[in-house]
Amino acid sequence: MTEFALDLNDDQKQVRDWLHGFAKDVIRPAAAEWDEREETPWPVIQEAAKVGIYSLDFYAQQFFDPTGLGIPMAMEELFWGDAGIALSIVGTGLAAVGVLANGTEEQIGTWIPQMYGDVDDVKVAAFCSSEPDAGSDVGAMRTRAVYDEAKGEWVLNGTKTWATNGGIANVHVVVAVVDPDLGTKGHASFIVPPNTPGLSQGQKFKKHGIRASHTAEVVLENVRVPGSCLLGGKEKLDERLARTRERARAGGGERVKNAAMATFEASRPAVGAMAVGTARAAYDYALEYAKERTQFGRPIIDNQGVAFQLADMRTQIDAARLLVWRASWMAVSGKPFTAAEGSMSKLFASEVAKKVTAQAVQILGGNGFTREYPVERMHRDAAIYTIFEGTSEIQRLVIARTLSGMPIR
């Protein structure tokens, strides 16, 4: 088991500084433009590919960091640059992780390279899970996948929503129901290859924040994919479904449910790290502004009303980072989240991001309310952290249920 430490090692510091430089020199100068355009920042993604940030190799290296801090460190630095552009850079990773977690070696080798493309022709991928009537309630998912034995194909029908890169992706990973009687355990994931007939982009959302990241509906109408596109393969799926049915008959369904919850818990610290990055960006800007901005003949930071706000902001950011690092270390060390520590980190960090960015706007006063200053954009971006990957209300529900052992509703 890796020892817990609060200091990054030399290799981690080198990666952090490299990412910070890219965020400062490439992402930040482009942030306002792509926020206004509300389009995917393809030139920035290409620059990230050229230097090796937009690649499976980079994320794999961070993911397998034995301390667990590689991913949260990377997320914090990129999102410090700009949340919308950073999400465009890391969004493909959601689909890639879905294939890595569930796919065969052949599927991993076939599809993940197609998700990223190459330096001269970058591609993106989309992970499609949420639905119009099934966001936090994944048990209400309606997208169906039916196996056509005669042709050895799966037929997918349904509508996905809130899909990052949905419709513009080269490869879509779609979660669908294969056995409605098994609830959330009757789901499976499928690869939808490029240019597959029947898959189309639905509504593209015009969002309050993270506007440089493409978010849209994905419509599936009799989408046929080869049997080889079922992640993990049909034999593995049939075995899993059979085990689930047997456990349900034996009264072991709750144990299966808790195992699934642990998987979701492990992914939430990464979102917390994104929130920390945005909060830190707003704090950094507000601090420098407060030292330079003069009112009544002195810098406004000389006023306790401003200085104490900044003290609170920094304290909350550091506390949020510590919760994220703890959960990330616990996940890589195999420690169970007996108090829903993954949800704790995501809940606290996302709420801190909203509060800190609002305080930054307040410190800048009228300037903070204009698009001439970046804290306005950061405040809009921060709103998403309390919504996606489980709302703050869902996180509190998970934590309360875990602590009490009661089916709180």
Q: Are residues 129 and 44 in the same domain?
A: no
Instruction: Indicate whether 374 belongs to any domain.
Output: yes
Q: Are residues 90 and 181 in the same domain?
A: no
Q: Which structural domain range is residue 188 located in?
A: 125-250
Helix, strand, or coil here: 188? strand
DSSP 72: H
Instruction: Indicate whether 1 belongs to any domain.
Output: no
What contacts 163, CB < 8 A, 6 or more positions away?
126, 127, 128, 130, 172, 215, 216, 217, 218
Token pair for 307: 């200085």
Distance CA 346, CA 122 (A): 31
Q: Are residues 217 and 333 in the same domain?
A: no
Q: Are residues 92 and 175 in the same domain?
A: no
Mean of all residue pLDDT scores within the chain? 93
The fraction of the chain above a pLDDT of 70, given in percent, is 95
Dump pLDDT digits (tens) for 107-131.
999 999 999 999 999 999 999 999 9
Dump pLDDT digits (tens) for 42-73.
999 999 999 999 998 999 899 899 999 999 99
Residue 140 has pLDDT above 90, yes or no: no
For 83, 140, 169, 394, 398, the CA distances from 391, given in Å and listed in that order, are: 18, 17, 25, 5, 11
Of 122, 141, 175, which residue sits at a domain end?
122
Mean per-residue pLDDT, 31-38: 98
Q: Are residues 246 and 273 in the same domain?
A: no
Instruction: Indicate whether 377 belongs to any domain.
Output: yes
Task: State the pTM of this model.
Answer: 0.94
Q: Are residues 143 and 284 in the same domain?
A: no
Token pair for 259: 């195992």
Distance CA 107, CA 232 (A): 8
Top-confidence residue, 63 or 14? 14
Q: Are residues 157 and 292 in the same domain?
A: no
Residue 263 has pLDDT above 50, yes or no: no
**pLDDT in the model for residue 4:** 67
Parallel, antiparallel, or unpaired: how do β-strands 187-192 and 215-226 relate? Answer: unpaired
Which has the closest alpha carbon to 380: 402, 363, 360? 360
Of 250, 279, 299, which residue sits at a domain end?
250
CATH number for position 359? 1.20.140.10
Of the pLDDT bands very low, low, confident and very high (cuts 50, 70, 90), residue 266 is: low
Residue type present at position 69: L
Residue 257 has pLDDT above 60, yes or no: no
Q: Are residues 96 and 162 in the same domain?
A: no
Q: At what angle do helices 10-22 and 70-81 cross, to 10 degrees?
A: 20
Mean per-residue pLDDT, 295-305: 97
Residue 159 has pLDDT above 90, yes or no: yes
Residue 401 has pLDDT above 50, yes or no: yes
Instruction: Indicate whether 395 belongs to any domain.
Output: yes
Which has the closest alpha carbon to 286: 347, 235, 361? 361
Instruction: Indicate whether 288 belongs to any domain.
Output: yes
Total domain count for the chain? 3
Which residue of the set 235, 376, 389, 393 is catalytic? 389
Instruction: Indicate whether 55 belongs to any domain.
Output: yes
Q: Are residues 271 and 232 in the same domain?
A: no
Q: At what angle do helices 253-292 and 375-382 cross, to 10 degrees?
A: 170
Instruction: Indicate whether 385 belongs to any domain.
Output: yes
Q: Are residues 101 and 154 in the same domain?
A: no
Q: At what angle do helices 341-364 and 304-333 cross, to 10 degrees?
A: 160
Of the pLDDT bands very low, low, confident and very high (cuts 50, 70, 90), residue 2 is: low
**pLDDT in the model for residue 6:** 83
For 189, 222, 267, 290, the CA distances from 225, given in Å and listed in that order, are: 12, 10, 28, 57
Of the pLDDT bands very low, low, confident and very high (cuts 50, 70, 90), residue 256 is: very low
Dump pLDDT digits (tens) for 366-394.
999 999 999 999 999 999 999 998 899 99
Residue 261 has pLDDT above 50, yes or no: no
CATH number for position 73? 1.10.540.10
Which has the closest alpha carbon to 275: 400, 379, 135, 375? 379
Q: Are residues 112 and 135 in the same domain?
A: no
Residue 89 has pLDDT above 90, yes or no: yes
Residue type present at position 101: A
Of 122, 153, 187, which residue sits at a domain end?
122
Instruction: Indicate whether 2 belongs to any domain.
Output: no
Q: Are residues 170 and 285 in the same domain?
A: no
Mean per-residue pLDDT, 23-50: 98
Distance CA 240, CA 299 (A): 64
**Is 389 designated active site?**
yes
Mean per-residue pLDDT, 347-360: 98
